[in-house]
């Protein structure tokens, strides 16, 4: 019995749904990626903590994913355990008049709808951003002048030893596409969100406005991982890429979106290698022609 068999048996004994050799292109918004050695759906904190501990004891790498909206999985797959949060991790509870607690696996769309239903404002900017709440905090997702930093009160997590903990907002180091979780390797399991009471119709109008802007400017009709590059200081990645004549450029099935040059889309059959090569082409061209170093925002999983 190898170490992956041990993890498989442990997950099964916990009542988790676990499978071998699962195609990751079904679990990423880019629709790209080879097979994960193990893929497990985890419903509660006890299961997750036990599995993380078992992985540490057996030297098995693991990753926890939400909606797969900011990742590109290697074409050869992942020699690790991929954990998808379900069950209690996709629920939301109202703590008091303006405070919500939501599981890390809940979609941002679900959280935005819950806020709207309760006449709570502060998350309108996130309406239309794909991904999960945990991923949004991990990357400090933001748009149209808003960011998760403005609404997060505290975050619950499980550390690499399977122990539970909480970090308050002041210690999260939330900055541009950054949080403390990018360094500490802990797994976000839940987030306390603090919002403000407002008129429900006005909240809906702002949500509709932001969604309308996204539909007008972003290539939502093709699989992608959202914005590919971080915003360089003093410029915009999309504008620099377009300036260099790369709008519409392609490698294999990966293409710089003709609608928004800050996006790379899967026009059909794109591979992770296609995306990687196109990103490198963009970075080299932009550096040579403008002097700007474009840094990736999307995460490659190997």
- Is-catalytic flag, 296? no
3 state SS of 144: coil
Structure tokens at 144: 């149209």
Q: Which of 69, 132, 227, 257 is catalytic?
A: 227
Helix (H) or strand (E) holding 225: strand 224-227
Q: Are strands 299-301 and 71-73 parallel, antiparallel or unpaired?
A: parallel
Q: Is 273 a catalytic residue?
A: no
Tokens for 277? 């090569």
Query: Quick one: which of 81, 86, 73 has its CA closest to 56?
Result: 81
Half-sphere exposure of residue 288, counting CA atoms within 13 Å on the CB side? 8
Our answer to whether residue 242 is catalytic in this structure is no
Quote the CA–CA distance of 45 and 57 in Å, as a whole number: 18
Beta-bridged to residue 83, according to DSSP, are 40, 64
> Are the C-beta atoms of residues 281 and 264 closer than 8 Å to each other?
no
- Return the number of other C-beta atoms located less than 10 Å from residue 140's C-beta: 21
Q: Which candidate, 264, 188, 295, 283, places its Cα nearest to that of 32?
A: 264
Catalytic residue among 41, 43, 147, 297: 297
Q: Pick the catalytic residue: 177, 179, 206, 224?
A: 177
- Residue 232 contacts residue 240 (beta carbons within 8 Å): yes
Q: Which residues are catalytic?
A: 177, 227, 297
């Amino acid at each position: 019995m190898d170490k992956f068999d041990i993890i498989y048996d442990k997950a099964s004994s916990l009542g988790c749904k676990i499978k071998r050799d699962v195609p990751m292109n079904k679990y990423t918004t880019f629709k790209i990626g080879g097979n994960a050695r193990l893929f497990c759906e985890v419903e509660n904190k006890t299961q997750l903590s036990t599995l993380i501990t078992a992985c540490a004891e057996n030297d098995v790498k693991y990753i926890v994913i939400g909606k797969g909206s900011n990742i590109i999985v290697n074409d050869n797959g992942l020699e690790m355990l991929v954990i998808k949060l379900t069950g209690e991790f996709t629920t939301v509870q109202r703590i008091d008049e303006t405070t919500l607690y939501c599981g890390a696996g809940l979609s941002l769309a679900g959280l935005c709808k819950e806020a709207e239903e309760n006449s709570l404002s502060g998350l309108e900017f996130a309406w239309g951003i794909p991904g999960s709440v945990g991923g949004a905090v991990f990357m400090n997702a933001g748009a149209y002048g808003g960011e998760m930093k403005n609404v997060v009160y505290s975050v619950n997590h499980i550390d690499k030893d399977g122990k539970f903990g909480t970090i308050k907002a002041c210690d999260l180091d939330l900055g541009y596409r950054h949080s403390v979780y990018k360094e500490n390797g802990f797994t976000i399991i839940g987030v306390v969100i603090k919002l403000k009471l407002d008129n429900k119709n006005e909240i809906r109008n702002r949500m509709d406005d932001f969604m309308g802007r996204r539909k007008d400017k972003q290539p939502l009709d093709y699989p992608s991982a959202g914005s590919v590059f971080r915003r360089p200081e003093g410029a915009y990645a999309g504008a620099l890429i377009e300036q260099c004549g790369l709008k519409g450029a392609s490698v294999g099935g990966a293409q710089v979106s003709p609608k928004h040059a800050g996006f790379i889309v899967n026009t059909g059959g794109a591979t992770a290698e296609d995306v990687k090569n196109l990103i490198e082409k963009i970075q080299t061209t932009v550096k040579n022609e403008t002097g700007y170093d474009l840094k990736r925002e999307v995460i490659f999983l190997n």
